Structure 1
């Protein structure tokens, strides 16, 4: 086959393939950094005062204001409350280890973002602390340990140690279990406090009752009463009073109604059940309530409280989701919110604490036909659209094209785009040109760097807050704040809607290689190929990549073309791309027929009966002049092969076509049956 192909090329040559793209994209810009453009002036005294006021650490004295920005951040870390502002404190510690620019950006905007997060999360932290205190009070009350504030605020490990140190002698198994848990990990500590201590305390009580039954029946009876009543109080939880052991069940229930914990809304089921039991005259009703009813009522209270908390948290997630959807800028955040809402309450809480802040980065891609696969990019100074420069590579992340979508600096209902490479630098308009500049803290900068999204078919448009009625638009790879029909050269009506419409894509987009630019800008190709499923390969000027439904090949002369099925198998098995035979069209598929032309010289045809075969040069021209697959010859059943006189191809219906290398004569033969 290699000799035949080489001989045929020498005789016939290859015709120049058809050009790949109908539209000519702009030249790829040389996006170079302008360091001065992203430099941040140090925070002003007023900005430092505002930052101090935000974190509630008292008056912003001269000791604060005179500090350098980095030292100011360190003092924030030292001073801010770890209880009220834990996230802010942690971020201050992180930023202090970075550059002076990061410190300035933190003072100017970051401290307000994290303080807002801390305030929003306070409900969750307060709820968790309440649950922690309730769990610990229940544990200590169950084994008659007097809990002081230091013990209740201790770490889980230290709390377990305090149980070990303080538990009365009549709870030996609890003491032993506490020692074992103390030597364990966080899971062991948590399990001991929330579950094990109650189960093991029951075992200790049962051992004591059995022992007392052999010594003193009355003491055994009182121990039984005390055990049941301690468990009842631990369920609330409420403080245990030994004097209650000596009163009748109905008196104990009336005493229970007086504990302050039953006035709390979270214990309404327990209170109602206790009130109902207290009004009964049936001793069995009293006994049943103390032994079982209070626990069932507390379970109902817990279930109701869990439901209310879940509903409240899901409502917040839905609000976050709705805002993100309405912006058209945060599809990853919308997806994360949907995942949380479809999950458990723990998933919802995790989204509120972490997820809603993890999916704020996006890239902005073009939608103009012929120029899709380009992204807004800047390394400081002028912003551009670019696909990146692949060279002889096969992709890699496009640096400078990922943006944090933040609340608008001048309007929280709009948005600002902060560079993920340069802290404190934002896309802004200046003299109608879109640029990446460091935030100097002025009102004008905040206005220039605020963009209001407008959802449109196919994407989102970004209206300038500083220039109402003007939207970010690309023209010749440059970015301007333009209006249709305006007085400037970049205000032209032609393609205005397309040029000013953007699509949000995942952060850190890959450089769009020439092959992928073909895929982005050829609707038919995307429909045929599906999505990429493997890495691109570069082979001496030829690119190819596997997609869901086949493979796309690219060369400078042919553009991006699609092959699939047995045609692809035959093509790749022969390594035809290495010999310069590249598809000049997408593979044509019919019900029982597929083919692709590799220039005007060679083609691959397939049918179920004949398989995939190559037809070449003058033999191909002769066959196609007779009608090709519709001719009496039918499909080729052999690749073209060399003969003593030249070359030959055999066809389905008993015919062959031969080519004479000396005379160049092409003849059709009816083979003998």
Structure 2
């Protein structure tokens, strides 16, 4: 099996896996035979994307076409005339801002203003995709908000009717604060209403809603009672009659019933019949009215007019809200299922899951903004030995890159982040827009994959559309070119192609085709892949042993540069001289007590001893840490360590060490389960003996 150009030493990580591929059995690993981990491809083994601080020609955005302009305007439900079409993109966007309905298209209006401020390129991009995208969001939000708007309008209409305030549609669409100001300004003859409105004007929106629903009525009732009681000439019977008229008048406003003096003097049961005629059939208001009429007790009629109709109105609102909440949850479940099936938006799936686990408010927030806040992802190679490389481009050709760690571990591969959009040619597929060059997409240019600016033409849209399917190697996703069916996004020699498994050329080779065309969709802005991360990602056995990272990687300039990172099951160390190795279990505690990398760096992973339960960890210059359940972890090094190795390590009669190296008179000594090794620094003699 030949090596691939640009990927020297590309092999599977574990010895066992290599043995399967080559057909040879794996020899037993003895304690004195340091296991060899096949070398990883170096960071430089992958072609890195060229760095060009200037905007590459491939990503320079051409002006919007006339067709794109027409589509943009029609997405707002507007007619377009020739006067629009002769404008420059920048002026065209201002025309959109000036014309868009602020109630139905607030996001479009805000986006147009921002694009106009940002200049010509932003204006072109806004025409090309921003208008239609934001208009769709505005339409969805407007449709979802219809019930809330209708409830708000009814609430304001009912409140206005309580004080006989005429209102326009424009007033009913005001915010609660502004509407209450208009109400306060209008009201005369109701001092307590006036005072309550003034207090509500400075309150929160939630408190303003309570004022319009209940506080205004309570204040008006008090004003009505005060007015009745203020007339000393009225007898009690007249006061009762006037109070009953006020109650009927107030109740009538709930259903928008226009009243006359004759109607207000009707008996309570007859007046309730008038309300029932006006109420929508099947509502709680109608049901409660009918229930009160079925009673022959006048007190029940009075109770309905005084409190029952308002409680029924609140139940109607609650029923509407429950239906809206159920529908919103259905929509979120649908978004989640679609994202799961597409495979390209795991962050959207996670956001939907979190929303569904939350409150109705969380659901509403997800639909309003949350689903649009997670559009970006990165694509990571899944082929063994190449994991940790991400699709990236800063104009023109596309590569898989790991980045240069330098002395850091948290630098971001910003060129490897993509906005996942519905396919330009087919909304059931996807287009990948660069977050660094807005308006530029990954495009199949023949067999090459390049980052190029959207010119608005159909060929570009076809070339920049990729259809996702479950990964051909059994995990992740594979991306088939919409315009070149049978060609998949593939990395080869560090570069990215639209390749087919035809063996007709290098990047069309069938060898590892399934692996190379399978991608893991991961979080955006991935960190530069350091040697430690590179090994962890590509050594499956080691990753299973160490578990997930629990802390960021640390770089220390000591000794020419050392890296280490903590995982759930241990710590991995790296230097240019020793490579990346993991120290785990009791050996790690002993290693750290000895000064860890400032003492010596590990040259192998902590490895199980072959015949009995235990482990060994070799470090630079012949040192080791040996551990067993019976003896614990101990250091052995120098002449004693060399002698122990010659005897056969723990397989010798000595067994495991029971102490670190200690001073015993003039001698250096390690004790073992069944003996001792002494070293005389004066003579250089080292000997072992039983105890």
TM-score, length of structure 2 as denominator length: 0.87
Partner of 1:302: 317
Is this contact kept in 1: 2:447–2:499, CA < 8 A? Answer: yes
Q: Confirm or deny that 1:220 pairs with 2:242.
A: no
Secondary structure of the structure 1 residue equivalent to 2:127? helix
Partner of 1:650: 671
Q: Confirm or deny that 1:425 pairs with 2:440.
A: yes
Partner of 1:3: none
Q: Tell me which moved more, 94-103 or 465-474.
A: 94-103
Secondary structure of the structure 2 residue equivalent to 1:83? coil
* Aligned counterparts of 2:166 and 2:63: Cα–Cα separation in 1: 54
Q: Deviations over 1:3-52 (max 9, x none)?
A: xxxxxxxxxxxx99865445536713231246101011111233222322
* Aligned counterparts of 1:576 and 1:276: Cα–Cα separation in 2: 82
Is this contact kept in 2: 1:73–1:92, CA < 8 A? Answer: yes
Partner of 1:10: none
Partner of 1:173: 192
The partner residue of 1:508 within 519, 525, 538 is 525
The structure-2 alpha-carbon separation of the partners of 1:644 and 1:37, relative to structure 1 and needing over 3 Å to count, comes to: farther
Q: Confirm or deny that 1:136 pairs with 2:156.
A: yes
The partner residue of 1:110 within 116, 126, 130 is 130
- 1:229-628 paired onto structure 2 within 5 Å: 229-236=248-255, 238=257, 243-259=262-278, 262-263=279-280, 268-275=283-290, 277-278=292-293, 283-456=298-471, 457-540=474-557, 541-588=561-608, 593-599=614-620, 601-607=622-628, 610-624=631-645, 626=647, 628=649
Is this contact kept in 1: 2:249–2:264, CA < 8 A? Answer: no
Secondary structure of the structure 2 residue equivalent to 1:257? helix
Is this contact kept in 1: 2:583–2:605, CA < 8 A? Answer: no
Is this contact kept in 2: 1:615–1:649, CA < 8 A? Answer: yes
* Aligned counterparts of 1:185 and 1:280: Cα–Cα separation in 2: 41
Is this contact kept in 1: 2:376–2:418, CA < 8 A? Answer: yes
Please tell me the root mean square deviation across aligned C-alpha atoms, in Å. Answer: 2.9
Secondary structure of the structure 2 residue equivalent to 1:605? strand
Q: Tell me which moved more, 51-60 or 401-410.
A: 51-60
Q: Deviations over 1:579-611 (max 9, x none)?
A: 443241235499974432225711113356644
The partner residue of 1:40 within 46, 61, 74 is 61
* Aligned counterparts of 2:226 and 2:346: Cα–Cα separation in 1: 61
The structure-2 alpha-carbon separation of the partners of 1:116 and 1:258, relative to structure 1 and needing over 3 Å to count, comes to: same
Per the TM alignment, residue 630 of structure 1 is displaced from its structure 2 partner at its CA by 6.0
* Aligned counterparts of 1:239 and 1:336: Cα–Cα separation in 2: 49
Q: Tell me which moved more, 122-131 or 148-157.
A: 148-157
Q: Deviations over 1:63-112 (max 9, x none)?
A: 32222212211121111111221111111111122242221111111111
Per the TM alignment, residue 186 of structure 1 is displaced from its structure 2 partner at its CA by 4.5
* Aligned counterparts of 2:76 and 2:130: Cα–Cα separation in 1: 12
The structure-2 alpha-carbon separation of the partners of 1:570 and 1:249, relative to structure 1 and needing over 3 Å to count, comes to: same
Is this contact kept in 1: 2:347–2:374, CA < 8 A? Answer: yes
Q: Tell me which moved more, 495-504 or 619-628.
A: 619-628
Partner of 1:85: 105
Q: Confirm or deny that 1:125 pairs with 2:142.
A: no
Per the TM alignment, residue 495 of structure 1 is displaced from its structure 2 partner at its CA by 0.6
Is this contact kept in 1: 2:76–2:100, CA < 8 A? Answer: yes
- 1:653-672 paired onto structure 2 within 5 Å: 655-661=675-681, 663-670=683-690
Q: Deviations over 1:281-326 (max 9, x none)?
A: 5545533433454344334422332222122222222221121111
Per the TM alignment, residue 631 of structure 1 is displaced from its structure 2 partner at its CA by 5.3
Per the TM alignment, residue 493 of structure 1 is displaced from its structure 2 partner at its CA by 1.1
The structure-2 alpha-carbon separation of the partners of 1:610 and 1:489, relative to structure 1 and needing over 3 Å to count, comes to: closer
* Aligned counterparts of 2:543 and 2:197: Cα–Cα separation in 1: 64
Per the TM alignment, residue 552 of structure 1 is displaced from its structure 2 partner at its CA by 1.2
For structure 1, list consecutive stretches of 5 or more residues without a partner in the other structure: 1-14
Partner of 2:211: 192
* Aligned counterparts of 1:664 and 1:495: Cα–Cα separation in 2: 56
Per the TM alignment, residue 388 of structure 1 is displaced from its structure 2 partner at its CA by 1.2
For structure 2, list consecutive stretches of 5 or more residues without a partner in the other structure: 1-31
The structure-2 alpha-carbon separation of the partners of 1:604 and 1:237, relative to structure 1 and needing over 3 Å to count, comes to: farther
Q: Deviations over 1:360-415 (max 9, x none)?
A: 21111111001101110000100111111112222311121111111111111111
Per the TM alignment, residue 506 of structure 1 is displaced from its structure 2 partner at its CA by 0.6
Secondary structure of the structure 2 residue equivalent to 1:258? helix
Q: Tell me which moved more, 433-442 or 386-395.
A: 386-395
Secondary structure of the structure 2 residue equivalent to 1:440? coil
* Aligned counterparts of 1:124 and 1:476: Cα–Cα separation in 2: 49
